[in-house]
Structure 1
Amino acid sequence: MGLAGCLGDDNGHTITIAGTSSGSASQAAGQALARGANEHSDELTVDVQETEGWTANLYEFDEGEFSTISVDNNSWAAALNEEEDFADEPVDDLPMQGFMFTSLEMHWVAMDGSGIESTADLRDGGYTIYPIEPGFGTRLLTEQLLREDGIWDENDINNEDTDDIPGAVEEGRVDALALYGSNGIELAGWCQEVDVRSDGQLYAIESDDQFVESIESMDGAAHVQQEPYGYEQDVQDELGLDEIDFWALQGQWAFGPDVHPDAVYEAARVAYDHHDTLRESDPTTLEYTPEVMTESIMPDVEVHPGMAEFLREHDAWDDDWTEGEADAE
């Protein structure tokens, strides 16, 4: 499936990224980075492959399938602490930190005819809900949130993958869905497909105080309140909502010790110097600055030495962080 490590020769380095599913934010960001490297680097080639999600990527890394992965901090923390999915199946090897590439903002929509108006209705239960595909980091965080809030056990859970859920929506087999967009700009590709195939039947629902408190109590989630974005239909009109509540999750590129520091440095340089090019491929690309790139850094996890060098050169290194070691210097 993947190329374990970073291939290097006289012409530079190739990194192969575990980029989650087709149409995901990771795929879009990875393909954008690949385009930036192709157009603006003589040293780096980026290849992106499909995987089953951020949580699954940590297992892929542990098994040596990939040395560069997309991953979220919540899944990473669960792996470190042997919690959630990792309680029964822990991993031995974890990557080092690179830089943030997205903030995924999850929210609720319901289908016409469901009768759902708020998260209080979901807590009462009796619905079929889609909390994102198993294996996704967004699913792990959403499942944690719904269990904490009391919604999970009261409803039937649809576990279809993101390629199939638009068909389930079209056939009316789901009442409410957790969908997400990136950086306040655009819905993930599979969520756009849900929007199109719902035939105008989606609408945003209200989050009650208990649900907002549940979001704010979670270490792995950020609470964001804003207008829904990225839809072809007006999802605000049904209930007259100007803004809705999102639970947000940050994703970053992470690298193993066999990825050459020069490759990681060059990936960061391309993103920083040429984010306009990246945005031509992925409209949700961040406005990269060293400060933005480090928003996802966890103080207790090592930073890849190639990234550490980049941050030091841009006066963005924090001495409280720990620099890891690479096999090749």
Structure 2
Amino acid sequence: MICRTLKAATAAGALALIAGLPSAAMAQEVTQLRWATSATGSTGYAVKVDLMTILNREWSGYNITVLPTAGAVASVRGYALGEFDGYYGADVAFAELADDSGRFRDFRAHMEREPVQSFWAYTMEVGLAVRADDLDEYDGWGGLAGAPVFTGPAPWDVRAQLERAMAAVDVGHDYTEIDLSIAGSSLNEGTIDAFIAYTSGQTSVAPWVNEAMLSVDTAILNPTDEERAQIEAAGMEVVAVPAERFDTDIGVDEAHFVPFFYGFHLGPEVPEEDLYEMLTIIQAKSEELRAANAAFAQVDEDMVELQRRGVAASGGSVPVHPGLARFLQENDAWDEAWDDWVYR
């Protein structure tokens, strides 16, 4: 009896082991993705965690770990050096990478692989705030020529985009770096004549900007129509952010800001079919993503159009992932002029 019981138990154990083999094999097939983003506590980190939560649940075959870095540029560098599988990158950073300039000066010689664009998550929009009493003295951005201006902390993408837009209208200002906490008082005291103001998704004002604008009587200095045309001729957009998005009077009915695009990107190591599937999941779950984080508002409102705008803004500075190209093609949003931009 004992012998028969032992044999039965052994047989049952063997069957359980055999039955468990497919699950073990499937577990081994899961690809681990080390996806870098900006620092813990930043918008980029919070948004990536919310995205990861849904993708880990819905995207079969992949498991994502979010890795904070010093910032978006650090994540792009890390991917190019083979340290990460995914990264948090902006079109303005990709432009510098392509030119081997700015924050990526002399970096290309050290790259192990080329970053590509694969998913655009939201825009950030940049402009200028000045003393409210001085607003009528300026004729657009050109009135700041030679003036001390804080365009943002040196390593930040928002500063890079504002400097790029100001260069398009040839505003040769004096960059003056200050601590974010004293931006308002520095403007009030005349240490600077303007500082960067920016929003996310044409909706929310950056907290430190909001605090600075509440601490001193400020106004938004819009570019003139001619300057706007020059910015657009340089390959950038100009969008209108309603005055009610701000917590204080901005002196104008709407702020004319220059957007750039932030995305969470994966390289061609992720096959076209899989990346395409990821994008369709994001589109299908866009309402849930928006509920988790308001930064996904643009994804929820028009996922396809956001991807189209992001690719257009990149100007082919880095290749387009084949999965993103397919997503746009199947949604009738692909421009044949971009065919040469697709990663081969």
Q: 2:126 aligns with which of 106, 123, 131?
A: 106
Instruction: Give the aligned partner of residue 284 of structure 1.
Output: 295
Measure how far apart 1:156 and its partner are: 4.2
Relative contact order: is structure 1 or structure 2 higher (C-alpha 8 Å, sep ≥ 6)?
1
Q: Structure 1 pair 289/194, CA: closer, same or farther in 2 (3 Å)?
A: closer
Deviations 1:184-222 (A, max 9, x none): 2223xxx22331365442533332436434423322x21
Do the aligned residues in 2 keep the contact of 1:31 with 1:281 (CA within 8 Å)? Answer: no
Instruction: Give the aligned partner of residue 177 of structure 1.
Output: 195
How many residues align structurally? 301
Do the aligned residues in 2 keep the contact of 1:21 with 1:50 (CA within 8 Å)? Answer: yes
Do the aligned residues in 1 keep the contact of 2:152 with 2:158 (CA within 8 Å)? Answer: yes
In structure 2, the residue corresponding to 1:272 is in which secondary structure?
helix
- CA–CA separation in structure 2 for the residues paired with 1:48 and 1:276: 22
Instruction: Give the aligned partner of residue 138 of structure 1.
Output: 158
1:265 paired to 2:280: no
Instruction: Give the aligned partner of residue 4 of structure 1.
Output: none
Q: 1:81 aligns with which of 90, 99, 104?
A: 99
Q: Structure 1 pair 203/64, CA: closer, same or farther in 2 (3 Å)?
A: same
Measure how far apart 1:76 and its partner are: 1.5
Bigger helix fraction: 2
> TM-score, normalised to structure 2's length?
0.72
Measure how far apart 1:250 and its partner are: 2.0
1:123 paired to 2:145: yes
Instruction: Give the aligned partner of residue 324 of structure 2.
Output: 307
Q: How does 1:1-329 map to 2 (within 5 A)?
A: 9-10=27-28, 12-21=30-39, 24-90=42-108, 92=111, 93-110=113-130, 115=134, 118=138, 119-125=141-147, 127=148, 129-152=149-172, 154-158=173-177, 160=179, 165=180, 167-169=181-183, 172=186, 175=192, 176-187=194-205, 191-196=206-211, 199-201=214-216, 203-209=218-224, 211-219=227-235, 221-228=236-243, 230-231=245-246, 233-236=247-250, 239=251, 241-261=252-272, 264-285=275-296, 286=298, 287-297=301-311, 300=316, 301-308=318-325, 310-311=327-328, 320-321=338-339, 323-324=342-343
- CA–CA separation in structure 1 for the residues paired with 2:234 and 2:69: 26
In structure 2, the residue corresponding to 1:143 is in which secondary structure?
helix
User: What is the alpha-carbon root mean square deviation over aligned residues?
Assistant: 3.4
State the identity as a percent: 19
Measure how far apart 1:283 and its partner are: 0.8
Measure how far apart 1:50 and its partner are: 3.2
Unaligned segments of structure 2, at least 5 residues: 1-25
In structure 1, the residue corresponding to 2:96 is in which secondary structure?
helix
Do the aligned residues in 2 keep the contact of 1:32 with 1:279 (CA within 8 Å)? Answer: no
In structure 1, the residue corresponding to 2:145 is in which secondary structure?
helix
Q: Structure 1 pair 252/147, CA: closer, same or farther in 2 (3 Å)?
A: same
Deviations 1:221-257 (A, max 9, x none): 21123424543x2232xx3x11222111122333223
Measure how far apart 1:141 and its partner are: 2.1
Measure how far apart 1:79 and its partner are: 1.9
- CA–CA separation in structure 2 for the residues paired with 1:26 and 1:130: 23
Do the aligned residues in 2 keep the contact of 1:182 with 1:284 (CA within 8 Å)? Answer: yes
Measure how far apart 1:272 and its partner are: 0.6
Moved over 6 A (4+): none
- CA–CA separation in structure 2 for the residues paired with 1:311 and 1:217: 25
Q: Structure 1 pair 246/283, CA: closer, same or farther in 2 (3 Å)?
A: same
In structure 2, the residue corresponding to 1:289 is in which secondary structure?
helix
Do the aligned residues in 1 keep the contact of 2:73 with 2:89 (CA within 8 Å)? Answer: yes
Measure how far apart 1:148 and its partner are: 4.3
Deviations 1:97-131 (A, max 9, x none): 21221121112123568x45543442251x3x321
- CA–CA separation in structure 1 for the residues paired with 2:43 and 2:282: 16
Q: Structure 1 pair 78/170, CA: closer, same or farther in 2 (3 Å)?
A: closer
Do the aligned residues in 2 keep the contact of 1:18 with 1:50 (CA within 8 Å)? Answer: yes
In structure 2, the residue corresponding to 1:204 is in which secondary structure?
strand
In structure 2, the residue corresponding to 1:205 is in which secondary structure?
strand
> TM-score, normalised to structure 1's length?
0.75
In structure 1, the residue corresponding to 2:84 is in which secondary structure?
coil
Do the aligned residues in 1 keep the contact of 2:122 with 2:306 (CA within 8 Å)? Answer: no
Q: Structure 1 pair 310/121, CA: closer, same or farther in 2 (3 Å)?
A: closer
In structure 1, the residue corresponding to 2:82 is in which secondary structure?
coil
Unaligned segments of structure 1, at least 5 residues: 1-7
Measure how far apart 1:284 and its partner are: 2.7
- CA–CA separation in structure 1 for the residues paired with 2:92 and 2:234: 10
Q: Structure 1 pair 234/36, CA: closer, same or farther in 2 (3 Å)?
A: same
Larger Rg: 2
- CA–CA separation in structure 1 for the residues paired with 2:273 and 2:223: 49
Deviations 1:160-206 (A, max 9, x none): 5xxxx1x223654764321222222223xxx2233136544253333
